[in-house]
Structure 1
Amino acid sequence: MSRRWCRKLEVAILSFVGFTGFLFLLQNNDNGPVLKEVIDTSRTIPPIQDNPPNPPKAIAECRENVSVANISGFVGLPDHIKDFLRYKHCKEFPLLLDMPDKCGGPDKSYNVFLLLAIKSSPGNYERREIIRKTWGQERMYAGVQIRRIFLSGGVANPRDARKLNQLLKIEAEENGDILQWGFHDSFFNLTLKQVLFHSWMEARCPGVRFVFNGDDDVFANTDNIIHYLLDVPGAGDEHLFVGQLITNVGPIREKWSKYYVPEQVTTSKSYPPYCGGGGLLMSGYTLRTIYKESLGIELFPIDDVYLGMCLQKAGLAPSSHMGIRTVGVRVPSSRLESFDPCYYKELLLVHRFVPYEMLVMWRAIHQRNLICGKRIEVYQPF
């Protein structure tokens, strides 16, 4: 048989096999996809969750309350106070970045002894990074678990918003510690941030024992905080709300002040007792109580005062702790160095520090050879 004849026979056979296979595919296509026959059933494929736990809640856009323009004296108010009055009824905003497993889920959140909830504006990247490396480390200490979360909003400028939102997303992916809501992060919106955090806690971490609530420019000695909380009765199931106690004060009526609150916001001349918002500690019981009371109290522009209002409505009182210094540390003499680790070693919290000071002080108070105080020996003459 010639080579040419062999090639013709080979082509004919291949054509017949191909045509037969094509007819087979057409026949099977009537009964369902061919791929269905070749699925490897030996592999374990995770089931698709038709109803994922805690699906995101649809939040309607909050509209401006235009009627506040009729309030006497409204026209002469600063713009940020006008905005507060227009939108103070808004208590729900979309959660842009969520950490649903921060506490191990609602059922296991009781394993978290201390949650560090730190208020931080989007642009404060350096502060967040230093806190992660120092007092805000997620770790086990003295047999209990410490977890960390940063609370943030957004920025008004669209160009900055795109960049900073991307920054927060990167931080969330790398560190798993960012909560961001879709409202403008500003001083007068700190109360809104506080209320949204309490709502998040109720859904994600209801069993947490204790919460540190503070700003990103404080220096906290979390070692001392843990030792203090371990001696608190009730393991978080009883009332605790401690900080630097502030009493017998009322609204500041001077327009130049950062804390200016006009009569259009409140006619009251006094505030309930409260703790400075730079840093405070509360039990899980108290946090849940504040959340419930906040549902019936309209927002107030000063966040720490608002917490005092919620406590007052619940019949609870804030307490003072001498180890929490939200107005800084006062040294006994101007000749002494205030940035001395011996002044901070026994404290719980000091406000305020710039980022590099946090790192320097954290390392300093953990030096094994740190000696505080002077030894004086008196020699008796022979």
Structure 2
Amino acid sequence: MYLQFPLIDLIDLFPAPQPVEADARKLDLSNVRGNMSLAYPISNPAACRNSNLFLLTLVFSSPANISQRDAVRRTWANQTLIQGFPVQLLFFLGSSQTSDAQEALMRESANHGDMVQGHAVADLSLLGPTERMVLALRWVITFCPLARFVLLTKDSVFVNLPAIGGYLLGLHRHPEDLYLGRVIQRESPNRDPSNPGYLSPVLYPDKYLPEYCDETAYVLSQDVVRKVYVASAAVHAPVPADVFVGLCAQKAGVAPTHSARFSGDKHIRYNICCYRYMFSSAAMGSNELETVWADLRQGGRCSLLQTYYGLVSCKALTYLDKLSFFNSQGQTEAHG
């Protein structure tokens, strides 16, 4: 049995505003905890047994990516406290394609205790972006409702948990309505009818999509998790997961907060002072994760001047990498 989601309806795509905040506050999924096995073959209900959990990190991963998960486990995920506050990391996966692959996942889960598996047709990449996100948020609300913050990321991303945790701990107000990441602005909807992500002007007439945080890494406060989940019932659009969250957040009246310390989809060229300051870097292979972590775990601090020059250096090198990539693409097309 698979989760069913309604077809796009011209009337219901973006209906009249509803009291999302009130519904989110009243939302209680504790009574369905015992009936989650169909939606979550690996439900890991005791993962958030610490009622004082400060930060929950959900890392989206495909079942076959065991070597990348192991690299994350050995590196940036290998910590349970940030400045004395408890943190927890879990991998969120889709269903495997064969019984042997499923048995391997069950063994991996038994060995590490850090996996949640949502019910999908094949692997996570074949699960629709809205269904994937709804499954993840539903799990958080059901089994981890007391985590103050939730970080959503991918297994190909380096995440600087101490830096993110330090930033969150530095917030002097009660952490509500926090939707933090690298904000994408003034992005046009996909108007190509031949593309699977096509968004008809009839369904979405606005010139630009709402502002949203790039999917490589972003943080939601627990109340925003609940608001986005409640709003998702009324937002049915063929868009990527991060755009979907942005649409739901807009409906819930939550605006994203931009931080340039998130790299977005860019791979940041390594510089230790740069990486100590940045919140994330995308497209990290297992070998590079090991190298970066070996440096960072040695401790030490960078002065303000060292941090400044580190950021200038990695930004310049990252730009040159991007320029080199586009030049090589142009040469390939010219010879093709």
TM-score bracket for this pair, using the shorter chain length: 0.7 to 0.9
Match of 1:344 in 2: 275
Counterparts of 1:272 and 1:371, CA distance in 2:
37
Counterpart of 2:218 in 1: which secondary structure?
strand
Match of 1:282 in 2: 220
Identify the match of residue 100 of structure 2 among 152, 163, 177.
163
Match of 2:76 in 1: 135
Aligned pairs, how many? 274
Counterparts of 1:93 and 1:317, CA distance in 2:
34
Residue 305 of structure 1: CA displacement?
0.5
1:102 corresponds to 2:47: yes
Identify the match of residue 116 of structure 1 among 57, 75, 80.
57
1:320 corresponds to 2:258: yes
1:172 corresponds to 2:103: no
Instruction: Give 1:362's aligned amino acid.
Output: W
Counterpart of 2:63 in 1: which secondary structure?
coil
Residue 200 of structure 1: CA displacement?
1.2
Counterparts of 1:235 and 1:341, CA distance in 2:
32
Higher relative contact order (CA 8 A, sep 6+): 2
Identify the match of residue 187 of structure 2 among 249, 252, 256.
249
Counterpart of 2:106 in 1: which secondary structure?
helix
- Aligned CA-pair RMSD: 2.9
Match of 2:149 in 1: 210
5 Å matches for 1:188-267?
189-236=128-175, 238-254=176-192, 260-263=197-200, 266-267=203-204
Match of 2:15 in 1: none
Is the CA contact (8 Å cut-off) linking 2:267 and 2:283 kept in structure 1? no
Task: Report the CA distance shift for 1:369/1:64 in structure 2 as closer, same or farther (over 3 A).
Answer: closer
Counterpart of 1:97 in 2: which secondary structure?
coil
Match of 1:26 in 2: none
Counterparts of 1:61 and 1:310, CA distance in 2:
19
Counterpart of 1:277 in 2: which secondary structure?
strand
Is the CA contact (8 Å cut-off) linking 1:342 and 1:365 kept in structure 2? no
Instruction: Give 1:150's aligned amino acid.
Output: F
Identify the match of residue 289 of structure 2 among 358, 362, 368.
358
Counterpart of 1:95 in 2: which secondary structure?
coil
Instruction: Give 1:94's aligned amino acid.
Output: A
Match of 1:40 in 2: none
Counterparts of 1:293 and 1:341, CA distance in 2:
40
Gaps of 5+ in 1: 1-58, 68-91, 331-337, 375-382
Residue 265 of structure 1: CA displacement?
9.7
Is the CA contact (8 Å cut-off) linking 1:192 and 1:299 kept in structure 2? no
Task: Report the CA distance shift for 1:187/1:235 in structure 2 as closer, same or farther (over 3 A).
Answer: farther
Residue 63 of structure 1: CA displacement?
9.5
Counterpart of 1:112 in 2: which secondary structure?
coil
Is the CA contact (8 Å cut-off) linking 2:82 and 2:166 kept in structure 1? no
Match of 1:75 in 2: none
Instruction: Give 2:88's aligned amino acid.
Output: R
Residue 339 of structure 1: CA displacement?
2.4
Counterparts of 2:225 and 2:172, CA distance in 1:
16
Is the CA contact (8 Å cut-off) linking 2:94 and 2:127 kept in structure 1? no
Counterparts of 1:121 and 1:310, CA distance in 2:
25
Is the CA contact (8 Å cut-off) linking 2:160 and 2:280 kept in structure 1? yes
Counterparts of 2:170 and 2:300, CA distance in 1:
27
Instruction: Give 2:106's aligned amino acid.
Output: K
Counterparts of 1:292 and 1:191, CA distance in 2:
13
Identify the match of residue 291 of structure 1 among 223, 229, 248.
229
Counterparts of 2:41 and 2:256, CA distance in 1:
32
Structure number, greater radius of gyration = 1
Counterpart of 2:94 in 1: which secondary structure?
strand
Q: What are the Cα deviations for residues 212-254 of structure 1, in whole angstroms up to 9, with x where unaligned?
A: 1011111001111111110123454x11111110111122345
Task: Report the CA distance shift for 1:300/1:112 in structure 2 as closer, same or farther (over 3 A).
Answer: farther
- Of 112-121 and 173-182, more deviation after overlay is shown by 173-182
Identity, % of aligned pairs? 26
Is the CA contact (8 Å cut-off) linking 2:199 and 2:237 kept in structure 1? no
Instruction: Give 1:202's aligned amino acid.
Output: I
Instruction: Give 1:351's aligned amino acid.
Output: A
Residue 148 of structure 1: CA displacement?
1.1
Instruction: Give 1:180's aligned amino acid.
Output: Q
